[in-house]
Structure 1
Amino acid sequence: MVYAVVRAGGRQEKVEVGTIVTMDRIKADKDGNVELAAVLLVDGDKITSDSTSLANVKVTAEVLNDLRGPKIVIQKFKNKTGYKKRQGHRQELTRVQVTGIA
């Protein structure tokens, strides 16, 4: 069983071939593929975590679609001063499917 832990936006995700991951918006090349940086690689009993060996590891993924996350409402209020502020935010996301770990 081969899997890798990759850097996906500001987080780390455990991925195998065929895994679908939602991460912060990233740009794809003209074919719709991206390369993710590996942090850890597990190949059966062999675990690779040093940076020199991980420089040779390529985790490729195909961009499925771009989407937006759920709306988050931010409200600020200060008592007795009449100060109220309301704003919203929707995170830009990309859904990718891992196609290879080499």
Structure 2
Amino acid sequence: MEYAIVEISGHQIWLEPNKHYAVNHVPLKVGTKLFLKRVLLVKKKNLFLGFPYLENARIEATVLNHFEAKKVLVYKMKPKKKYRRKNGHRQKLTALYINNIII
């Protein structure tokens, strides 16, 4: 089993080839190939660990689509003061398909 741990937009994500993942919005067109270079760890036959990143490792990915996550409701209330606020937020996400782990 091969996998990699990559830093994408402030989050560390465990990636495996031939799978798709949702990450924070990446401003690229659908179908664009990109290379992720902030690779922290790669496990193929051997384990490669970066301090903090691996110099020659990269992840080849393709942008599948852009979408929004489920709505998160934020409700503020102060009892006995007639203060109520209800807000919602939908995070913009991008679906990435991991093609290959290169080291």
Q: TM-score w.r.t. structure 1 length?
A: 0.86
Partner of 2:20: 20
Partner of 1:71: 71
Residue 53 of structure 1 and its aligned partner are, at CA, apart by 6.8
Residue 49 of structure 1 and its aligned partner are, at CA, apart by 1.2
Amino acid at match of 1:19: K
The answer as to 2:49 corresponding to 1:32 is no
RMSD: 2.0
Listed as ranges, the gaps of 5+ residues in structure 2 are none
Percentage identity across paired residues of the two chains: 27
Distance in 2, matches of 1:94 and 1:4, equals: 19
Residues 1-102 of structure 1 correspond to what in structure 2 (within 5 A)? 1-28=1-28, 32-36=32-36, 37-44=38-45, 46-51=46-51, 54-102=54-102
Q: Number of aligned residue pairs: give it.
A: 101
CA distance change for structure 1 residues 12 and 52 in 2, over 3 Å: closer, same or farther? closer
1:27 and 1:34 in contact (8 A); partners too: no
Amino acid at match of 1:9: S
Amino acid at match of 2:98: V
Q: TM-score w.r.t. structure 2 length?
A: 0.85
